[in-house]
Amino acid sequence: MNKRVLVTGANGQLGKTINELFAKNKYGLEFTFVTKSELDITKEADLKPFFKNNKFDYCINCAAYTNVEQAEKTPEIAYKVNAEGVKYLAEACKETDTVLIHISTDYVFDGEKTEPYTIKDIPNPINEYGKSKLLGEQHVQDILDDYFIVRTSWLYSKQYGHNFYKTILKKAKAGEALLITDDQLGCPTNTENLAKYIISLIAIKSKDYGIKHFCDEGEMTWYGFAKNILKEHLYEHIKLVKAKNYRTFARRPKQTILK
């Protein structure tokens, strides 16, 4: 029998990628994609009947508040979605025996470790986005037994959404010189690879529940990532300057390579 899979936050870059790659019922999966306007995860009263009426086997939660800078200025919005909304989602999954595949972030770590972060390392987020995402993880762990928390890093789609990859291309196309921080180390992760990993958990009927780390190979700084993007698109003539202490509103962890 087909497994019924709900994807929340379907208008985001990961949601759209899952839709593009898997909506046509591959691997015997039957998908329902819901955008924020169709199912707002912070609306508890809408969420529970929706789950009860539909009987999903899995819920892939791609819904999140991902604006790291704005989260620092108005944290309550980030907590509402990334923590409270996730709690309601976990409760709805609990009541309906739905396995939750929840996506989290490398920004739950403080970045002070010199080695890659393992799933056993203790999170210690240094910005409001990371704190709100950690609280979301904790709700999932408190409420559910059958869950996957998939932490990933520096996510980008070449087609969909807002991300560093697209920002750099936009600036390069406009002929803007680029001043890019060289102070953080991480692994950019293409949404297509993450989407395949998530679906593989369902396809192989994994019951190895708990926290997972998934990122693409290749550690680099944002400067290095920008350099690669310019090279890929033959924009190597665009001026690219390493920034030390690039000023942002939110602090970012120095190194968040996920093992």
Ligand X SMILES: Cc1cn([C@H]2C[C@H](O)[C@@H](COP(=O)(O)OP(=O)(O)O[C@H]3O[C@@H](C)C(=O)[C@@H](O)[C@H]3O)O2)c(=O)[nH]c1=O
Ligand Y SMILES: NC(=O)C1=CN([C@@H]2O[C@H](COP(=O)(O)OP(=O)(O)OC[C@H]3O[C@@H](n4cnc5c(N)ncnc54)[C@H](OP(=O)(O)O)[C@@H]3O)[C@@H](O)[C@H]2O)C=CC1
Catalytic residues: 129
CB of 61 to ligand Y, least distance (A): 7
CB-based contact 132:168 (threshold 8 Å): no
According to CB under 6 A, which residues from 156 to 175 bind ligand Y? 161, 163
Give the binding range for ligand Y (CB under 6 A) out of 50-58, 114-122, 155-163, 165-173. 155-163
CB of 253 to ligand Y, least distance (A): 12
The dihedral formed by the CA atoms of 217, 222, 224 and 229, expressed in degrees to the nearest 10: 90
According to CB under 6 A, which residues from 64 to 103 bind ligand Y? 64-66, 81, 85, 103
Calpha distance 129→144 (Å, rounded): 23
Task: Find which of ligand X, ligand Y, none residue 181 binds, CB within 5 to 8 Å per kind.
Answer: ligand X
What angle (nearest 5°) sits at the alpha carbon of residue 133, between those of residues 132 and 138? 95
* Cβ distance to ligand Y smaller for residue 117 or 237: 117
* Cβ distance to ligand Y smaller for residue 117 or 154: 154
Binding residues (CB under 6 A) for ligand Y: these are 8-9, 11-14, 36, 40-42, 62-66, 81, 85, 103, 105, 133, 152-155, 161, 163
